[in-house]
Chain A
Amino acid sequence: SQTIHQWPATLVQPVGSPLSLECTVEGTSNPNLYWYRQAAGRGLQLLFYSVGIGQISSEVPQNLSASRPQDRQFILSSKKLLLSDSGFYLCAGTSGPYEQYFGPGTRLTVT
């Protein structure tokens, strides 16, 4: 079965600093991969998805970017964090139809 790993689990960063969140997938090959953000008390917002190496689609224009350097690696980045980037970031993946499997998430607090 598929397992999604994310790190770090929590992160506190000052405004204007860079960001790199990593997601790796185990147990499958050529998955579709997704980054979501969940603001406090709200639902999930899809940020990026990728159907293959180097293929990134952005759903929401913002201060963030994503990259997929390897089949099972998905990275979320920012050059300069904003206060509004605070939230809970979830990586998900799927290698076939239907459901997505989620990682444990990263709690980002921008101060």
Chain B
Amino acid sequence: AQSVTQLDSHVSVSEGTPVLLRCNYSSSYSPSLFWYVQHPNKGLQLLLKYTSAATLVKGINGFEAEFKKSETSFHLTKPSAHMSDAAEYFCVVTDNNAGNMLTFGGGTRLMVKP
């Protein structure tokens, strides 16, 4: 069985300051992990993915995440927030099963203040 916990339901930062969105996972197998972003009334867009290669993963829009097996974490970071980063972010895990089934975290709403 697999699960994902996003530790903060809401995060508020000022524009130009760093962003940290926290994610912990559990999985019986070697997992693949993803971060998706969702703007209001839009579909989900893939930000980045970890699939057992480099543990530091760079994604779009300046985001990156580090896979830490010992801590079972996959936190999302960005050095400097932009107003357009305000959205809902989902951490997602799959154990690479045949059906590509994904398990979603509850989401973190990122607010960016001017």
A103 contact set on B, CB distance < 8 A = 43
Classify the interface of chain B: helix, strand, loop or mixed: loop
The residues in B between 5 and 46 inclusive whose CB is less than 8 angstroms from any CB of A are 32, 34, 36, 41-46
Q: CB-CB contacts of A1-35 with B at 8 A, as 1s and 0s?
A: 00010100000000000000000000000001000
B32 contact set on A, CB distance < 8 A = 97-99
B80 contact set on A, CB distance < 8 A = none
Are B43 and A32 touching (Cβ within 8 A)? Answer: no
- Nearest chain B CB to A36's CB is how many angstroms away? 9
Does A74 reach chain B (CB closer than 8 Å)? no
Does B104 reach chain A (CB closer than 8 Å)? yes
Does B2 reach chain A (CB closer than 8 Å)? no
A92 contact set on B, CB distance < 8 A = 44
Total CB contacts across the A-B interface at under 8 A: 54
The residues in A between 92 and 107 inclusive whose CB is less than 8 angstroms from any CB of B are 92, 94, 97-105, 107
Does B55 reach chain A (CB closer than 8 Å)? no
A87–B34 Cα distance when bound, in Å, is 24
Q: Mind listing 22 A-B residue pairs with CB under 8 Å? A: A6-B43, A32-B100, A42-B106, A43-B104, A43-B107, A44-B104, A46-B102, A90-B43, A90-B44, A94-B100, A97-B96, A97-B100, A98-B34, A98-B51, A98-B100, A99-B34, A99-B49, A101-B46, A102-B36, A102-B43, A104-B42, A104-B43
